[in-house]
Structures are given as C-alpha cells and as structure tokens.
Amino acid sequence: MDSTKELLVIALGGNALLNSKSKGTIEEREAAADETAAQLLNVLASDYSIILTHGNGPQVGNLLIQNDEAIAKVPAMPLDVCVAETQGEIGFILQKAIQNTFQKNDIKKNILTILTQVLVNENDPAFSNLSKPVGPYYSLEQTKKILDEKDWKFREDPGGKGYRRVVASPKPIKILQDKIINDLILSDYIVIAVGGGGIPVWIKDNEIRGMEAVIDKDLASSQLAIDLKADELIILTNVECCYINFKKPNQISLRDLNLDEAQTYYDQGHFSAGSMGPKVLAALDFVTNTGNKAIITSIEKLSDALKGNAGTIIHQ
C-alpha cells in the first residue's frame, strides 16, 4: 500500500468504447476496448494510482432500443437500472481488455470495476427542465401512443429524425462508494468507477432510491476526483485540446488556462453544451475545489499531456 503515489482520475468517453458508427456487436465492443487498453498501457503501467471512468451514451441508447423492441415479451427496466446494466457491461469489457493487455506485457497489476451510485438532489432544477435526449427516435404517432401510457417528455429532433425522450441530468452531489474506491486505490488496485456518470440515486426515509435520470460523466468524474482529493483530473475526448472559434478560420488552440481565463471563455459560450462545455465545467469544478490541475486532451496525446506537452491544462 502506497499513499504517496499521485492519484489520477481519467475520464474516457463512451465513444472510446463503442464507436457511434458501429453496429454494437460484442466483437466491435471488445475490439474498441482492446485498442483503448493498448493506448492507455504506458500510463496504466506507470507509478500512478489510477481511477478510470467512462461514458455510456451509445451503450445505454442501444439498451433502451432493446427495451422498446422487446416490451411485448419482457418488461422494460427503468433508466437507473439501464445505467447500472451498462456500468457492468462496459466495466467487464474494459477490465478484461486491460487484464489481457497486462498479461501480454507481463505487468503485475490488479484492476476492479465497482458499481457506483451517485447522490443527486431530488429538487435539482434539472427535474423541471428535462434536457438530456435518450433512447431511440419515434414518429409523432408513436410518441402520442407512448404519452397515452407513460408520463414521459419528448423533444423533436432539429434534424428531422423524429422525437426522442428527454430526461433530467442533475448535478452530482456525492459518490456514495468513494471510501470503498479509496481503499482499493490504497491497496494498489486500478479502479473503474462512476460508469456512465454513475447510477443516479436519492435518499428518502433513510432509503436509497433510484432516479429516472442520467448524470453527466465528466461532472461525475470531477465529483469523484474532488471527493478523493485527486492530484489530477484528466478528461479524454476526440480532439487534442480545447479551442476558441472551433473549426473557424480564426480558430485558436488553448494550451494553458488559469481559472479566470477558462471561466471567461466558458461564459462567452466558446464551449458548446453538447460537447466541450461539460468537460470545461467539470475541470473548473475540480480546480476550484482542490487547487489541483485538470487536463483535457485526446487518448493519443495522454502521455504527452501528463508531461505538459499536449492538451489544455486548467489550473489556479
């Protein structure tokens, strides 16, 4: 047990484990996990304590479609249960890929996936402003039929694909398994946790209850990093760093930002809500609450970013 190692929380995107263009077969999922494990090998094998987190957008979307298609034969599960199912699924596939990569490279390290519940406030404003689209697209006729039976909310897709259910995306308050995760880290385990943002729960009458909601993966990762006083939060995405005027002729890469600079760019709307916005917000929360630095970069540039040679570094 070594409490002197630097603790890194590394947030993977759901698309790092299932490409949005994939059909979703187990072979595709395992191949994507194998590639991710290979790309992470140098960092995982190094002398850091590491927690991996991940998204589940494509996976939970597929599971909701399966629910929808099989509802005449098998009862559909609520959203919190679907998040739990994808935590187990992705955790198993990623954990197995990393174990196999360690075995091939004669690395003696242990890794464990933990089913993680994340506390949210039942009075969070997100529950009165449903904004997160989940599951399949429906026609107007299908949407009306569902509304006859369920108290769901729908939003029309601006691209004309149909209607999708929207759910709340509340702010994470606390990671309920933080002490268990910390004990595993102190015992030299690599831990996979808060998959898909964690299973959203609230407490009523001293009982834990699931919530029909989804939590942003990056905000949950930041909350875990804050709870455990991590040394660095690393958020991996599909670009090397953050930009202002992204994909415009006057695009500028952002390499080193203090809190004030990052907050100003965020407030000016340079980071969209559907992509870089939550990542920058998560980084701001982490740096504000710990005084430590956050890095936003791609998985290909992770090793360079840890040396300060790539990515966007946000600090005090």
Catalytic residues: 14-15, 132, 217, 279
Return the ∠ at Cα 40 (arms to 191 and 246), rounded to 5°.
110
Which run of H or E residues covers position 183? helix 178-186
Report the alpha-carbon distance of residue 21 to residue 93 in Å, rounded.
19
Any idea what DSSP says for residue 128? G
131 φ, ψ (degrees, to nearest 5): -135, -15
**Residues 134 and 64 sit within 8 Å (Cβ to Cβ):** yes
SS3 category, 24: coil
Burial level of 17, CB count in 10 A (0-12/13-18/19+)?
buried
- Helix 276-290, helix 259-267: angle, nearest 10: 150
Report the alpha-carbon distance of residue 174 to residue 171 in Å, rounded.
10
CA distances from 255 to 94, 223, 297 (A): 30, 24, 10
Q: Which of 312, 307, 284 minimizes the C-alpha distance to 297?
A: 312
